[in-house]
Amino acid sequence: MKKHCILILLFIVGITSCSEDEPIKKNPLIETKDGVETIWYPGKTQVKYRREHDKNKKRHGKWMLFNPEGKVMSSSSYDHGKKTGVWLVNFPNGQLRYTGEYRNDLQFGVWVFYSITGKKVLEITYNDKGKISNQERFENPNSKKSDEDSSKLTKKSNTKSTTK
């Protein structure tokens, strides 16, 4: 009986402490205005992310990631949750890593991948169904392993190598 009373008392204390109207603390590094969410680096001197959502909380519009110096690290677009438009992603050193286009959530057209030193290492062409129709690898006999990092992001199909 004593155990039951203690459990009931703890339950009541738990409910009343949870029901207090404590204000929810907002993260000062996140701002939302006109549907655009901006996330800041600590210190709030540089934007880290800028992104949008539709009313159903799906990704929508332009999404951008910036490094602490303010340079664009990635840029992408969504249409109510579906990938669309030109996408680009940079290496941490600011060098372009890859760029390509999405249409209706599918990769489309020519996607170009670069090494961390800026050399083109791979081109992949996608058809209108998002399937690889051609792939061309560009080799440099003096390349380092880091020059091939971009190609790890892709599927291998119809590969032909060239020296350029």
Is residue 15 over pLDDT 60? no
Give every CB contact of residue 72 below 8 A, 6+ residues apart in sequence. 64, 65, 66, 88, 90
**Predicted TM-score (pTM) of this structure:** 0.70
Encoded tokens for 145: 């392993």
pLDDT of residue 49: 96
Which amino acid, 57? K
Domain ranges of the chain: 27-80, 91-164
What is the model's pLDDT at position 139? 80
